[in-house]
Amino acid sequence: MSDRKSIAQIRAEFEAAEEAQWEELCARYGEDERTGVRKLVEGCRKKAASLAAERERLDAMRAYERKYDQYDFICGIDEAGRGPLAGPVAAGAVILPKDCEILGLNDSKKLSPAKREELYDEIMEKAVAVGVGLVSPARIDEINILQATYEAMRDAISKLSVEPQILLNDAVTIPDILIPQVPIIKGDAKSVSIAAASIIAKVTRDRLMVRYDEILPEYGFARHKGYGSKEHIEAIRRLGPSPIHRRTFIGNFL
């Protein structure tokens, strides 16, 4: 009987339980009238419902992966850093296993920095292949940001250890690529592969901007990651451009 165990003992059971045991535990202690036990059962049921909702959301984000299920290696492509005044543009290319589950996977812009870091590690651990491309500020100034983004994406694809059979791209069609491509508007919120690529690109670029901040601390790169914050614009006006500023982006501030 449940009342033979203390609430602390029952709590320890819930805390140690694997997901497959949750339902049985809730059934075992569901009739216990003690408030503490009822809260444990209610909390477990809420956790199970939340997990089911998350899996349903992720299932909806696999619609394109299901549509192209005939391919073994589906690659998501996305970029980070088209808009900043400083630093490179980054692109991520990610091939996930077909049965891969990464809870919380989403458009990187909808995630906290801590959650992106956590998911980055899980993607790197579980992915079939990951490629990252970076194009410098000088190259952005030379060929413009759109062409630099395409160049970063081609570079990311070239660094994959497995050749993709189809590309799911966030909104764009990449020139000079022979692999079939599917551009998807707001793809980072509609495809798990593109969402994974967006996280890889964003975290890679953010980490690089933090390192730049160690070299050039007066610009505050670790805080704004090169974007046009008030603090950043004031620093450009006060100090002039650094070697990693995009000259074609900052003409209005000089």
Please indicate, yes or no, whether residues 40 and 161 belong to a single structural domain of this protein: no
Please indicate, yes or no, whether residues 123 and 189 belong to a single structural domain of this protein: yes
The dihedral built from the CA positions of residue 153, 154, 159 and 164, taken in this order, carries a sign that is positive
Specify the DSSP element, H or E, that contains 38: helix 35-60
Please indicate, yes or no, whether residues 6 and 85 belong to a single structural domain of this protein: no
What number is the average pLDDT over the span 200-222?
98
Please indicate, yes or no, whether residues 78 and 147 belong to a single structural domain of this protein: yes
Q: Does pTM top 0.95 for this prediction? A: no
Q: Is the pLDDT of residue 76 over 70?
A: yes
* Tally of domains in the chain: 2
Please check whether residue 247 lies inside any domain of the structure: no
Dist. CA 144–CA 135, nearest whole Å = 11
Please check whether residue 243 lies inside any domain of the structure: no
Residue 1: pLDDT band (50, 70, 90) is very low
Q: Choose the final residue of a domain: 60, 75, 96.
A: 60
Please indicate, yes or no, whether residues 105 and 176 belong to a single structural domain of this protein: yes
Q: Is the pLDDT of residue 2 over 70?
A: no
Domain of residue 38 covers 2-60
What number is the average pLDDT over the span 104-124?
97
Supply the CATH number for residue 170's domain.
Answer: 3.30.420.10
pLDDT (0 to 100) of residue 252: 84
Q: Choose the final residue of a domain: 212, 229, 249.
A: 212
Please indicate, yes or no, whether residues 90 and 55 belong to a single structural domain of this protein: no
What number is the average pLDDT over the span 63-68?
98
Q: Choose the final residue of a domain: 11, 40, 60.
A: 60
Please indicate, yes or no, whether residues 206 and 105 belong to a single structural domain of this protein: yes
The dihedral built from the CA positions of residue 26, 28, 32 and 36, taken in this order, carries a sign that is negative
Mean pLDDT of the chain: 96
Beta bridge partners of 167: 75, 181
| Residue 106 tokens, joined | 């989403």
Q: Tens digits of per-residue pLDDT, 176-200? A: 999 999 999 999 999 999 999 999 9
Q: Tens digits of per-residue pLDDT, 122-134? A: 999 999 999 999 9
What number is the average pLDDT over the span 127-144?
98
Dist. CA 231–CA 170, nearest whole Å = 30
Task: Show the 3-state SS of 111-146.
Answer: CCHHHHHHHHHHHHHHCCEEEEEEECHHHHHHHCHH
Please check whether residue 249 lies inside any domain of the structure: no
Please indicate, yes or no, whether residues 203 and 96 belong to a single structural domain of this protein: yes
Dist. CA 79–CA 152, nearest whole Å = 8
What number is the average pLDDT over the span 78-100?
97
pLDDT (0 to 100) of residue 141: 98
Please indicate, yes or no, whether residues 152 and 180 belong to a single structural domain of this protein: yes
